[in-house]
Amino acid sequence: MKACQQLAITQFGQPSVLAIQSSDVPVASDSQVLVKVAYAGVNPIDAKTRAGLGWAAQQNQDNLPWVPGYDIAGEVVEVGVGVKALKVGDAVSGFVGFPLLGGGYSEYVAVEADVLSRVSKAVSLVEAAALPLAGQTAWQALDKGLVSADEEVLILAGAGGVGHIAIQLAVARGAKVTASCSAANMTFVSSLGATAVDYHQAPLFKQIKPVDVLIDLMGGDTGIAALDCVKTGGRVVTIPTITADAVCEQARQRGLLADGMLVSPSVEQNNAMMGMLESGDLQLSIAAQYPLSEGASAHQDIETGHTRGKVVLVVDGDI
């Protein structure tokens, strides 16, 4: 078997610090499978870690070069002796190596078999790679916010990777969803079932009536400003960890129930959303696909904060 090509963070800094390296193809342990990766999802946490920000960066500062990436989809090419649920040739996807191991930006990954979802022929591998981290973040944010039918929910950055999934999951729960976006994304966000609001037009609290729940996917000053949109006693879930404490403190001063959130991998949730993809009840927007060797461009893209849907790396698109 040939050597394994990976895209690694060589030092913390700008996207240019990402470089291709070669390693031995990993060997699956008794409880693992070896996956030949077709696509790897690119997420904001990858870019923040590469820049040296956040917990994963702190924990891996002495482990550079380090291969990022938590979303993969591909084909099983080797099965550990203790694995019964998967076989060679199965198409799989999963949320892997979170938060310290990473490794998704790689041609081959050895993964615990029980964290992987099967991918049906009705779902493309590029969609399967784009789903896990963003989808589970959206699902768990709605759970933490106790979002239920007929509640008014505001989702910031509704056109983004997490946002466009969160809109659809909230609508599926029967919630009444409003989502912020740019003018260019108004039609897209509306097509997902939300009332789209252009954040450039005026402060959000001047454009919408008070909501029961805020799902803050922006954090910082934007997240804090959106607190004015929430009813007294309402709930706030803020996702960006770097500003979570500041947003939550401001929320509590306004009489709101607020909490930050770190996503936790759940194969059950991934399986459920894979089923929604297969049935057409969930749509994934792929903003761009970049070859593994152009990972720096993918990071530049995602750092603009204006991508519509998910960015993915093409590791072996012929699978």
For the beta carbon of residue 245, count every other beta carbon within 10 angstroms: 11
Contact between 179 and 197 under an 8 Å Cβ cutoff? The reply is yes
Q: Tokens in use for 75? A: 């084909």
Q: Angle at which helices 132-144 and 267-279 pack, to 10 degrees?
A: 110
Residues 293-313 have a mean pLDDT of 96
Three-class SS of residue 67? Answer: coil
Q: Angle at which helices 132-144 and 161-172 pack, to 10 degrees?
A: 50
Buried b (16+ CB within 10 A) or exposed e, 95-123: bbbbbebbbbbbbbbbbbbebbbebeeeb
Which among 286, 307, 301 is positioned nearest to 184, based on CA atoms? Answer: 307
If residue 282 lies in a helix (H) or strand (E), which one and from where to where? none
Spatial separation of the C-alpha atoms in residues 273 and 281, rounded to whole Å: 9
pLDDT-derived band at 319 (thresholds 50, 70, 90) equals confident
DSSP 171-197: HHTT-EEEEEE-GGGHHHHHHTTSEEE
The CATH architecture that domain 134-260 belongs to is: 3-Layer(aba) Sandwich (3.40)
Q: Is a pLDDT exceeding 90 seen at residue 29?
A: yes
Spatial separation of the C-alpha atoms in residues 266 and 95, rounded to whole Å: 8
pLDDT-derived band at 235 (thresholds 50, 70, 90) equals very high
Radius of gyration of the chain (CA): 19
- Note the pLDDT of residue 172: 98
* pTM for the predicted model, two decimal places: 0.97
Three-class SS of residue 241? Answer: helix
Backbone φ and ψ of 279, nearest 5°: -85, -10
Residues 65-88 have a mean pLDDT of 98
Peptide bond into 65 cis (omega under 30): yes
- Note the pLDDT of residue 195: 98
Residues 187-194 have a mean pLDDT of 98
Task: Please determine whether the domains at 4-131+284-314 and 134-260 fall in the same fold group of CATH.
Answer: no
Percentage with pLDDT > 70 across the chain: 100
pLDDT-derived band at 88 (thresholds 50, 70, 90) equals very high
Residues 73-95 have a mean pLDDT of 98
Peptide bond into 99 cis (omega under 30): yes
Three-class SS of residue 313? Answer: strand
pLDDT-derived band at 318 (thresholds 50, 70, 90) equals confident
Spatial separation of the C-alpha atoms in residues 316 and 12, rounded to whole Å: 27
Residues facing 88 on adjacent strands:
none
Domain ranges of the chain: 4-131+284-314, 134-260
Spatial separation of the C-alpha atoms in residues 196 and 227, rounded to whole Å: 18
Spatial separation of the C-alpha atoms in residues 282 and 143, rounded to whole Å: 18
Q: What is the pLDDT of residues 251-298, one digit of tens each?
A: 999 999 999 999 999 999 999 999 999 999 999 999 999 999 999 999
Spatial separation of the C-alpha atoms in residues 171 and 262, rounded to whole Å: 23
Contact between 116 and 33 under an 8 Å Cβ cutoff? The reply is yes
Q: What is the pLDDT of residues 123-162, one digit of tens each?
A: 999 999 999 999 999 999 999 999 999 999 999 999 999 9
- Note the pLDDT of residue 1: 55
Homologous superfamily of domain range 4-131+284-314: Medium-chain alcohol dehydrogenases, catalytic domain (3.90.180.10)
Contact between 254 and 234 under an 8 Å Cβ cutoff? The reply is no
- Note the pLDDT of residue 305: 87
Mean per-residue pLDDT of the chain? 97
If residue 317 lies in a helix (H) or strand (E), which one and from where to where? none
Spatial separation of the C-alpha atoms in residues 98 and 136, rounded to whole Å: 12
What one-character DSSP code corresponds to residue 25?
A: P
